[in-house]
Structure 1
Amino acid sequence: MSDPISRLDQFRADTPGAPMKSAAEVRQRGDQIRRRQRALVTAGAVALAAVVAGPIIFLSAGFGERAIEPQPAPAPTPSQTPSTVAPSPSASTPVSDLTRANLPAEDDMVAEDPYPQWVQAQTYDGEGKGDYNECLPALADSDALATFRRDFTPQAGQEYADSAGTLKAVVAEFGSADEAEKARTKLSAAASSCAAVDGTEVAGSLPVEGGVVTGGDINVVTYLPEDDSTNARWEVATAVVAVEDRLVVLTRRRGVQDYVSPTTLQTSAVNAAYRLVGSSPPPATASSSASSSASSSASAPAAILSDAHLVVAGSLPGLPMEGESSAVWQQVAPQPTPTLYCQGAWLSSLKAAESVSREFRLENGGSQIGKVNVTVLEFAEKENADAAFETVHGWLDTCPASMDDAKLFTARPVESIAIGTTPEIDRAAQTLAEYAGDCGGEGCDATWYDHQTVAQLGTRLVLVTHAEAGGPCPPTTACPPEEASDYTDWDRRVAQTVEATVDRAFQDLP
């Protein structure tokens, strides 16, 4: 459910710290063997041209490019015999010395907090079995001389490993830097549109700069899975980076609720670029979330929001259940579900300057009986927050989310509510939506009763979901409820969740 909105245009992947060697020095050290043969061929050709044609003036195109047309060799005299020696195969057919050693290692791949570190799962010669990225054509179609692939997975048995997704790296070498750049442009365009998958939406992009990188960028798209009843989405973040005549493609795929800025993938791509030329990433780009955050904060204004603005599990009310007084709320990793069930678009569409999110679940006997989702949004100007409030109010009123209408009905229209917090809020609205629960593919009367709230104070909004499982009756003290008093405890629990959440979100505001 995480939806961090960062000032992407201020972020740079080259982290300040220990001075880096220049790109030319790294390439010379890391790729000396591979370049030697090509340098000898080029040097021989230049020397021959100098003997035959005399002095050559290189124009503005620069040394190594075709600055002037080569002069033809003089015709042989009658005493001369034309040479019949065939050209060397190595001069016309590029030979790759790309190996598995040019693939990124585990320590190069940055794991986002709170997810566990990436570990190697499988390494392939070539592009491996199955598509490593559903948006891209095969590198073989781009005339790559050689390719290798390595897949990474979250460290097994660690917390949040199940929701971290997968990370895959493919490296390739081409006959020239121009061919590598053409392939990079083609792959980046495919990643940005992902035309091969139906229903994709462009979520965002970032540049990849620094170190030995010749050029690169990251493009993120999202799309609904085949089962869209939960409004979950797949996120595919693709980094395509060129280093002279070599290319690295990183693909991070996971389920998300909203757009997640791929700043850690940005740092991973810079690290992978060093491996591509046979070098180790300098300490300044070492794989840690802290280093990524440090480089971001070096150029971006200090953040206003933090986890301190999010409610904690201990502040949420218990749900009375048969046989015990209450269960215990547990904070969970970001889930591939929206903050609000009636959310009509990604929260990034609201254009907040910052946001923080948190989710909680309540279980009894292995069955989920409670859900609380929270997102706090900070806007640059109050008019932006005002417009966002109206948008969310419209979502609550019409519930335009992409869901099966047969499973959803709204119990009552959206209405303004009062929230007893200090400081006093500007305004708040709430609705109750009812929708079918998951019965494992079998028919049942399980139902979710979901109160959804939006509150505003100045430039800040807070979105809250408080959902309880029921069926055939709502979570009231009587089934069916007959008196207003039957709703008292349920209403109190919802109010406690909303007040605790809003109080925490607005605590630093006057």
Structure 2
Amino acid sequence: MSDPISRLDQFRADTPGAPMKSAAEVRQRGDQIRRRRRTLVAAGAVAVAAVVAGPIIFLSAGFGERAIEPQPAPAPTPSQTPSTVAPSPSGSAAASDLTRANLPTEDDLVAEDPYPQWVLEQTFDGEGRGDHNECLPALADAGALATFRRDFIPEAGQEYADSAGTLKAVVAEFGSADEAEKARAELSDAASSCTAVDGAEVAGSLPVEGGVVTRGDIVVVTYLPEGTDTNARREVATAVVTVKDRLVVITRRRGVQDYVSPTALQTSAVNAAYRLVGSSPPPASTSSSATSSSSSSSSASAPAAVLSDAHLVVAGSLPGLPMEGESSAVWQQVAPQPTPTLYCQGAWLSSLKAAESVSREFRLENGGSQIGKVNVTVLEFAEKEGADAAFETVHGWLDACPASMSDAKLFTARPVEAIEIGTTPEIDRAAQTLAEYAADCGGEGCDSTWYDHQTVAQLGTRLVLVTHAEAGGPCPPTRACPPEEASDYTEWDNRVAQTVEATVARAFQDLP
């Protein structure tokens, strides 16, 4: 008969972990377990203390905006892409390694001709002081883990610096590529609707593609600022671009006379995308000259430009405005202004679909006050039919004057009428109107008024648009106040005619 204890010993030997440990070994194992538990309890207490002290540490460091420049992490090589810290098993939020080094630099930004290069103004940790874009919510509200901002201004002292506007860039990192794409879509929608600004209208858009870009687009809106007595519009161009789990928003603000496709901002946004991953943009994309030479080489068969500055009137050809007891003031050419060429202009001139256009503006001042304005644009069309249609459109603008101003501050003094212009070559046709509108008196009531002659002339495939405006009030800029005879208007009429003739002669000088 077999021994049952012996069979039990054999059962133990076949069990995983057998043979069984001695009593001394069991006691030693218990001591190890107790020591481990004491260690874990101590570590847990330290973690709780860190949670309690956390807000105090953040506040003392100036969380969000810090006056002390942080030390940026070493940028990865161009072949590397940033790695997002994976969530811990406990589900805690991912850490961000985004730094100021991921913001675009001056060299990444392309300035549109004829404006000067962008230069750095200031850099912020976080989204900075004040809104970087009046159409957008805060990126923190969109779920960004970290943000940095950099503001740029035109190079001071350069020509057209005063009218170039401003440019601001904000970079952000999200918990995943899906979260970044969701934020991009929401920000792009907010940029196009721009519900925070009354009267904002979409002027155009462009995609942002190429390089390291995951997805991106540019939306341009314009609006009339509150409290202004002119029809000068403001433009907000917003580029929103993602690269995996990171995002950059570039905002350019400026005053505008006409919509121009934001191709320079498009190139700047692609360059900024490279900085998001710690790389430098390709050399060819960092300068406007390189971009121009590249595009010209790829379209060598494109026709040569017809229009140039040679088709625009110069200040010396404009008539002076004689003032009693004083010498005549001198016309000065100025930087492009955020006002339409024609006060009664009903849409962007780009809506006329001209193949080319050139423009120039002049102002006349006396004693610090503006007393004269001349705006000129010359348009060249591919076909005469296009020029014919554009003339009719502009004629309709002059007739109805659909300017975006209060009716109480605008009225047309006389209906649009055909006029003769004594130039060689002889023009096909021309039309002119006189609009009167209140001048800006700095928020105070006054009787100052602009008397604005607006003209459109056509010869073949070319149109020229001319504004000649003079300040007056309570009487027009006539010899007598109030004018009583036709001769009282003679000097004023002659000044307008001289401006129009000089402008049209210059614009059509090369036509048969």
Q: TM-score range by the shorter chain?
A: 0.7 to 0.9
SS at match of 1:230: coil
The answer to whether the 8 Å contact 2:203/2:220 transfers is yes
Cα deviation for residue 71 of structure 1 reads 45
Give the distance between the partners of 1:11 and 1:506, measured in 2 at CA: 112
Aligned length: 510
Aligned to 1:24: 24
1:144–1:17 CA distance, 2 compared to 1 (3 A): farther
Give the distance between the partners of 1:181 and 1:428, measured in 2 at CA: 53
Of 178-187 and 202-211, more deviation after overlay is shown by: 178-187
The answer to whether the 8 Å contact 2:229/2:440 transfers is no
Cα deviation for residue 474 of structure 1 reads 2.1
Cα deviation for residue 501 of structure 1 reads 1.1
The answer to whether the 8 Å contact 2:229/2:439 transfers is no
Cα deviation for residue 28 of structure 1 reads 52
Cα deviation for residue 244 of structure 1 reads 2.3
For residues 21-420 of structure 1, what are the structure 2 equivalents within 5 Å?
A: 88-89=88-89, 93-288=93-288, 302-420=304-422
1:352–1:2 CA distance, 2 compared to 1 (3 A): farther
Give the distance between the partners of 2:6 and 2:337, measured in 1 at CA: 20
SS at match of 1:56: helix
The answer to whether the 8 Å contact 1:384/1:459 transfers is yes
The answer to whether the 8 Å contact 1:163/1:254 transfers is yes
The answer to whether the 8 Å contact 2:76/2:278 transfers is no
1:37–1:474 CA distance, 2 compared to 1 (3 A): farther
Give the distance between the partners of 1:274 and 1:299, measured in 2 at CA: 32
SS at match of 2:502: helix
SS at match of 2:238: strand
Cα deviation for residue 104 of structure 1 reads 0.7
Cα deviation for residue 150 of structure 1 reads 0.7
Cα deviation for residue 125 of structure 1 reads 1.4
1:441–1:196 CA distance, 2 compared to 1 (3 A): closer
1:425–1:141 CA distance, 2 compared to 1 (3 A): same
Residues 129-185 of structure 1: per-residue CA shift (max 9 Å, x gap): 322112222222332222111111223344433322111101112233333223222
The answer to whether the 8 Å contact 2:136/2:187 transfers is yes
Question: Identity rate of aligned residues, in percent?
Answer: 90
Of 18-27 and 339-348, more deviation after overlay is shown by: 18-27
Give the distance between the partners of 1:241 and 1:10, measured in 2 at CA: 71
1:406–1:86 CA distance, 2 compared to 1 (3 A): closer
Residues 367-413 of structure 1: per-residue CA shift (max 9 Å, x gap): 11110011122233322322221221122112221212222222221
SS at match of 1:39: helix
Cα deviation for residue 363 of structure 1 reads 0.7
The answer to whether the 8 Å contact 1:4/1:356 transfers is no
Cα deviation for residue 4 of structure 1 reads 103
Of 318-327 and 72-81, more deviation after overlay is shown by: 72-81
Give the distance between the partners of 2:346 and 2:18, measured in 1 at CA: 46
Aligned to 2:502: 500
Of 361-370 and 119-128, more deviation after overlay is shown by: 119-128
1:491–1:297 CA distance, 2 compared to 1 (3 A): farther
Residues 73-111 of structure 1: per-residue CA shift (max 9 Å, x gap): 999999999999999559975332110001011222222
SS at match of 1:448: strand
The answer to whether the 8 Å contact 1:11/1:300 transfers is no
SS at match of 1:57: helix
1:334–1:146 CA distance, 2 compared to 1 (3 A): same
The answer to whether the 8 Å contact 2:84/2:94 transfers is no
Of 300-309 and 442-451, more deviation after overlay is shown by: 300-309
Of 350-359 and 326-335, more deviation after overlay is shown by: 350-359
Higher relative contact order structure (alpha carbons within 8 Å, sequence separation ≥ 6): 1
Of 342-351 and 21-30, more deviation after overlay is shown by: 21-30
Of 5-14 and 346-355, more deviation after overlay is shown by: 5-14
1:322–1:141 CA distance, 2 compared to 1 (3 A): same
The answer to whether the 8 Å contact 2:321/2:328 transfers is yes
1:24–1:252 CA distance, 2 compared to 1 (3 A): farther
Of 116-125 and 25-34, more deviation after overlay is shown by: 25-34
Give the distance between the partners of 1:8 and 1:111, measured in 2 at CA: 89
1:151–1:425 CA distance, 2 compared to 1 (3 A): same
SS at match of 2:197: coil
The answer to whether the 8 Å contact 1:257/1:336 transfers is yes
Cα deviation for residue 452 of structure 1 reads 0.5
Cα deviation for residue 298 of structure 1 reads 6.6
1:354–1:25 CA distance, 2 compared to 1 (3 A): farther
Residues 344-364 of structure 1: per-residue CA shift (max 9 Å, x gap): 222233233332221100011
Of 98-107 and 69-78, more deviation after overlay is shown by: 69-78
Residues 227-271 of structure 1: per-residue CA shift (max 9 Å, x gap): 242012110101112222221110001121221221211121122
Give the distance between the partners of 2:2 and 2:363, measured in 1 at CA: 16
1:172–1:45 CA distance, 2 compared to 1 (3 A): farther
Give the distance between the partners of 2:13 and 2:422, measured in 1 at CA: 44
Give the distance between the partners of 2:497 and 2:5, measured in 1 at CA: 29
Cα deviation for residue 312 of structure 1 reads 1.5
Of 214-223 and 345-354, more deviation after overlay is shown by: 345-354
Cα deviation for residue 414 of structure 1 reads 1.0
Give the distance between the partners of 2:84 and 2:308, measured in 1 at CA: 75
Q: Unaligned stretches of 5+ in structure 2?
A: none
The answer to whether the 8 Å contact 1:145/1:172 transfers is yes
1:145–1:38 CA distance, 2 compared to 1 (3 A): farther
Of 45-54 and 237-246, more deviation after overlay is shown by: 45-54
Of 296-305 and 471-480, more deviation after overlay is shown by: 296-305
Cα deviation for residue 484 of structure 1 reads 2.7
1:132–1:305 CA distance, 2 compared to 1 (3 A): same
The answer to whether the 8 Å contact 1:11/1:296 transfers is no
SS at match of 2:60: coil
Residues 45-74 of structure 1: per-residue CA shift (max 9 Å, x gap): 999999999999999999999999999999
Aligned to 1:12: 12
Cα deviation for residue 219 of structure 1 reads 1.1
The answer to whether the 8 Å contact 1:110/1:289 transfers is no
The answer to whether the 8 Å contact 1:153/1:166 transfers is yes
Cα deviation for residue 36 of structure 1 reads 33
Of 457-466 and 39-48, more deviation after overlay is shown by: 39-48
Give the distance between the partners of 1:383 and 1:323, measured in 2 at CA: 51
